[in-house]
Amino acid sequence: MSQLTLNVNGQNHSVTVSDGSMPLLWVLRDLLGLTGTKYGCGIEVCGACSVLIDNQVEHACVFDVTSAVGKKIVTIEGLSPDRSHPAQQAWIEHQVPQCGYCQSGMLICAAGAMKAGHHGAAIASEIHNLCVCGTYPRIKQAVAKL
């Protein structure tokens, strides 16, 4: 058993894990109750588990929790407390989600691209997440305004 401290959404959280190679996704969802980050494929393909770690988009399904110690983690819950982040506003304006399962990962990818200084089509080119509903045209419309 290991006691770790993680900085998630600007707050330090103490967690106890039995295996340091436990994926960050399970710590976020099961130990911290932050269920906005989703499990999709488990092999870094779909992007539903995307989070920002030190402002870089990472797949929490394969990111070892011990590698996250000392870093700043942002989940969809930490993007903004009131859906005021520009990417969230664009998603709402263009009615992007259908089922919404993949959307938190896509929003995190858009926010990461924005933090890197990208706009519009450059943001769209950085979102490689999969959406079973096929809302890609609306996603492109939303990020065109960012």
pLDDT in tens, 85-112: 999 999 999 999 889 899 999 999 999 9
| Sheet arrangement for strand 50-53 | 11-17, 2-8, 72-74, 50-53, 56-59
Give the pLDDT mean for 106-119. Answer: 96
CATH topology classification for 86-144 = DNA polymerase; domain 1 (1.10.150)
- pLDDT tens readout for residues 57-73: 999 999 999 999 999 99
Give the residue extent of every domain in the chain: 2-77, 86-144
Q: How far is CA 50 from CA 2, 16, 39, 47, 123, in A?
A: 24, 22, 9, 5, 15
Closest CA to 128 of 91, 93, 102, 101: 102
Q: How large a percentage of the chain has pLDDT more than 90?
A: 90
Alpha-carbon span 39 to 46, nearest angstrom: 9
Output the six-digit token pair for 32: 């911290």
Q: Which residue has the tokens 């997440």?
A: 129
Identify whether the C-beta of residue 97 lies closer than 8 Å to the C-beta of residue 103.
yes
| CATH assignment of 2-77, among 3.40.50.300, 4.10.1240.10, 3.10.20.30, 2.60.40.10 | 3.10.20.30
